[in-house]
Amino acid sequence: MKTPYQILGIPEQADAQTVKNAYRELARKFSGENYSAGPLDEIAQTRMKEIDQAYDAIVQARPADFQADTNYGKASGSRTGTYARDYSDLDDIRAKLQAGRLDDVQILLDGIPPSKRKAEWYFLKGTVHHRRGWLEEAFNNYSKAYNMEPGNPEYRNAYNNLSASRQGAHRQRRRAKRGCTGCDICTALICADFCCECMGSDLIRCC
C-alpha cells in the first residue's frame, strides 16, 4: 500500500511548499474538467480522490509545518476541517476548485472572515456558485469582484460572460411568455384561405 508521499510522488522529508506544489500539479493533471464524459473519467476521479486523501493526510499529520498557511481545525459538517490562514494567498483553494472539490472550497471560503474577503474571494465564491448552477448568486459575487478590481481581466470576463448569458436567458423567457396569440391564429387562417383561393377553393367563405 502506498504512503501519502508516494501517492504525491515526493520524499517523506519534503517541506510544506513541496507538498503543496506536488498536489497542485497532480490536481491540474487529473482535474475532472480534463476527462469529463471521456473514457478515462472514472479512472481520473478515482485517482483524484486518492490524491486528495493523501494531501489531507499529510497536512493533518504535520500541522506545525503548515501553520503559516493552513491550520486544520474541527468544523461541524466538514470532512477535512477549515482554514485559519493569512488569506493573502488562495492558491490552495484554487487547486481544490480546479480539482472539482466544490464542497471543500465552499467550507474554506466560508471560514474566511468578512473583514478579510477581497476581490479574489468573491470571484472564487462566484465560481463555486456558477458551477453549481446558482446563477444569481454567482452574478452577485462576480459583480463584487469586478467592482473591487475592474482592471482584473479574469474578474471582468467572468462578469461579462455571465451578464451576457443572463440577458440572453431573459430574452428567451420573454419570447416564451408571449407564445401564440389570437392575432397569430387569424393571420395563419387568412394565409391558408388565400392559398386555397389560388387553387380554386375557399377556406373562409366570408373573406
Quote the pLDDT of residue 146.
Answer: 94
Give residue for cell 472564487: 124
Split at pLDDT 50, 70, 90, the class of 73 is very low
pLDDT in tens, 172-189: 556 555 555 545 555 655
Q: Residue 105 pLDDT > 70, yes or no? A: yes
> Are the CB atoms for 19 and 63 separated by under 8 Å?
no
Cα separation of 145 and 41, whole Å?
32
| Of 120, 85, 79, 72, residue with least CA distance to 102 | 79
Cα separation of 99 and 32, whole Å?
6
DSSP code at position 112? S
Structural domains of the chain ordered from first start: 1-112 (1.10.287.110), 118-207 (1.25.40)
**pTM reported for the whole predicted model:** 0.48
